[in-house]
Amino acid sequence: MSPDPMLRQMRLRLWLAAALPAVLVVLVLLALFVQRHGHELLQAKQHQAQAVAKQLASQAEFSLFAADVQTLQRLAATTKDSDDEIVAVALRAANGQFQAGAGRFGAALPDFTGNRVHLNGERLWVILEVRSDLMAVDDPLAAGLLESGAADPVLLGFVALEYDLIALQRSSQKLLLWALAATGLALMLAALLSALIASSVTRPVAHISDVVRRIGSGELQARAELTRAGPMAQLARGINRMASQVAVTQEELKLQVQQATDELRLQKLEAERTARTDGLTGLLRRRAFIDLAEAEIQRSLRYQDPLSFIMFDVDHFKSINDTHGHACGDAALVHLADLLRQQMRDSDLPCRWGGEEFVVLLPRTSADVARHAAERIRSHFEANPVRWEARSLRVTASFGVAAFDARDLSLSSMVARADAALYRAKRSGRNRVEVAEYEGWAAGGFEQPAA
Ligand SMILES: Nc1nc2c(ncn2[C@@H]2O[C@H](COP(=O)(O)OP(=O)(O)OP(=O)(O)O)[C@@H](O)[C@H]2O)c(=O)[nH]1
């Protein structure tokens, strides 16, 4: 997994914060070291050159005094050969006149006046006066002055040395290279350590950030696992607690949503049931009945099953209302619906067609069987009067029965034929069953009764 840009930036900043001071300190130390060391080397070389010049001066003292050029020449040659870095040696008399020498001076020497150390790039010159109190041995006045410190020893001449500093510079450069190499190594170590430090800080942050991203995308069981104690571990614990809390809340919400959904489904079912059934009798309403009846007709046509239809209308229902009140009429309707249900098979479809009119669809039932069923219902009504205010009211109904005929092609013509049979039953004295014969195509649909 590649860290996100924010973490990369954080790691880089941490790395810089840890590495930069180390780099600066090392560079400053290196500069100090190189400068100091170069200076010390040069000083050491100067001291060495002065020491050699002093030694030569003391060796040449007498020869200068005696103007022993041969000895002076030998001294110059020996001194030059004693050190590779000595380029040239010269011995001069007190008046500056050349006495002896070895090698060639690279440039014109400065004036021979007094002791001098002169540095010019790659060359170092040392000019030293050669003085002696030898002459004072024969001169009591001079000896007295020398002893009292009032007179300088006598100037006999000068020694001049020229040193080549290239070797010194090379060794200085070599040292610088070593120092640079050591510095580079130190810097690499510092960078590595800084990277480790930065990574040790950003790794837990990256882990926590990953866990937060997973929790955010719905993986609520994701947990931050930090073994080391510290502020990050505290943060991780806080995030884990939050994730647990969110998971619990989500479960509760799920439960609540589930409960609300169940409730809504029940309400919908109840609403559908209410829309399908008649509020007074609990029987199917006409619209729901028609939908089911159409399906039954299709099934009957397909499997060539018989299908019958009963329609009945309560006799003289108006007079029940008028005599005993509308509530009594309602009670009579409820009573008759109960009696009807008692006489039905589970597969039958009873329905309140409207007002005091009822219908029943009888799947897989022939007209003859339907007629018997209608007769059974009729006699059941007759035998079971309505109880109303301690009275017993005999309520009867007239029935029309029709069998579905393939030539009908629709429910409406079968209904029309049953209705016609019912009308015949009414006209024939009520409380009886009439069976419809097929009378050809019937017109009209299912009109809702007047309220
Ligand atoms: N109580 C009550 N009465 C209703 C309801 N629906 C229709 N009715 C009444 O039923 C009566 C039907 O009267 P009619 O059509 O004259 O029929 P009938 O009196 O039964 O006479 P026949 O059918 O010829 O025997 C009317 O008075 C309607 O007001 C209802 O839900 N409750």
116-120: strand order across its sheet: 98-102, 86-93, 154-164, 123-132, 116-120
Taking the model in full, what pTM does it have? 0.52
Residue 404: which of 282, 270, 265, 303 has the closest Cα? 303
Strands 397-403 and 433-435, by their bridges, are: parallel
| 320 Cα–ligand 1 center, Å | 8
Looking at residue 102, its pLDDT comes to: 92
Residue 26 or 43, more confident: 43
Three-class DSSP category at 155: strand
Going by CA atoms, what residue is nearest to atom 23 of ligand 1? 315
Measured CA distances, 107 to 146, 148, 250, 362 (Å): 37, 41, 95, 140
Average pLDDT over residues 404-433: 92
Strands 397-403 and 391-393, by their bridges, are: unpaired
Residue 249 falls inside a structural domain: yes
CB 129 less than 6 A from any atom of ligand 1: no
CB 326 less than 6 A from any atom of ligand 1: yes
Going by CA atoms, what residue is nearest to atom 26 of ligand 1? 318
Range of the domain at 94: 5-171
Radius of gyration of the chain (CA): 66
Going by CA atoms, what residue is nearest to atom 15 of ligand 1? 318
If asked whether residues 361 and 291 sit together in one domain, one would say yes
If asked whether residues 245 and 312 sit together in one domain, one would say no
Question: Residue 156 contacts by C-beta under 8 Å, 6 or more apart in sequence?
Answer: 61, 64, 65, 93, 94, 130, 131, 132
If asked whether residues 268 and 364 sit together in one domain, one would say no
Tallying the residues shown for the chain, one arrives at 451
Q: Residue written as tokens 């018989």?
A: 306
- What does the pLDDT look like over 141-196, one tens digit per residue? 656 655 666 556 788 899 999 998 888 788 778 877 887 888 788 778 878 887 88
User: What pLDDT band is residue 446 in, cutting at 50, 70 and 90?
Assistant: very low
Residue 203 falls inside a structural domain: no
User: What pLDDT band is residue 202 in, cutting at 50, 70 and 90?
Assistant: confident
Residue 191 falls inside a structural domain: no
If asked whether residues 321 and 419 sit together in one domain, one would say yes
Residue 188 falls inside a structural domain: no
Whether the per-residue pLDDT at 66 is higher than 80: the answer is yes
CB 318 less than 6 A from any atom of ligand 1: yes
Residue 45: which of 167, 201, 200, 203 has the closest Cα? 167
If asked whether residues 351 and 265 sit together in one domain, one would say no
If asked whether residues 290 and 421 sit together in one domain, one would say yes
Whether the per-residue pLDDT at 356 is higher than 50: the answer is yes
Measured CA distances, 333 to 168, 279, 376 (Å): 131, 12, 18
If asked whether residues 269 and 377 sit together in one domain, one would say no
| Residue 74, burial from CB neighbour count under 10 angstroms (0-12, 13-18, 19+) | middle
Residue 55 falls inside a structural domain: yes
CATH of the domain at 399: 3.30.70.270
Whether the per-residue pLDDT at 313 is higher than 50: the answer is yes
How confident is the prediction for the chain on average, in pLDDT? 86
CATH of the domain at 69: 3.30.450.20
Looking at residue 134, its pLDDT comes to: 56
Number of domains comprising the chain: 3
Question: Residue 340 contacts by C-beta under 8 Å, 6 or more apart in sequence?
Answer: 283, 350, 358, 360, 377
Average pLDDT over residues 214-224: 86
| 321 Cα–ligand 1 center, Å | 8
Residue 221 falls inside a structural domain: no
If asked whether residues 34 and 73 sit together in one domain, one would say yes
Three-class DSSP category at 304: coil
Residue 370 or 154, more confident: 370
Average pLDDT over residues 231-246: 84
For 403, phi then psi, to 5°, come to: -95, 145
Give, in degrees to the nearest 5, the angle at Cα 352 between 351 and 356. Answer: 145
- Counting atoms of ligand 1 from 1, which one is nearest the CA of 313? 23
Per cent of the chain over pLDDT 90 is: 45
- C-alpha–C-alpha distance, residues 151 and 286, integer Å: 153
- C-alpha–C-alpha distance, residues 244 and 238, integer Å: 10
Residue 211 falls inside a structural domain: no
If asked whether residues 325 and 259 sit together in one domain, one would say no
Average pLDDT over residues 315-337: 97
Looking at residue 447, its pLDDT comes to: 38
CB 432 less than 6 A from any atom of ligand 1: no
Among 257, 276, 295, the domain-final residue is: 276
Task: Name the residue of 321, 328, 381 whose CB sits within 8 Å of the most ligand 1 atoms, as the mutation to test its pocket.
Answer: 321
Lowest mean pLDDT among 128-137, 228-237, 259-268: 128-137
Residue 158 or 234, more confident: 158
CB 307 within 8 A of CB 297: yes
CB 260 within 8 A of CB 247: no
Residue 181 falls inside a structural domain: no
User: What pLDDT band is residue 375 in, cutting at 50, 70 and 90?
Assistant: very high
If asked whether residues 123 and 261 sit together in one domain, one would say no
- What does the pLDDT look like over 52-62, one tens digit per residue? 999 999 889 88
Read off the tokens for 270. Answer: 């109840």
Among 276, 305, 336, the domain-final residue is: 276
If asked whether residues 270 and 336 sit together in one domain, one would say no
If asked whether residues 37 and 166 sit together in one domain, one would say yes
Whether the per-residue pLDDT at 103 is higher than 50: the answer is yes
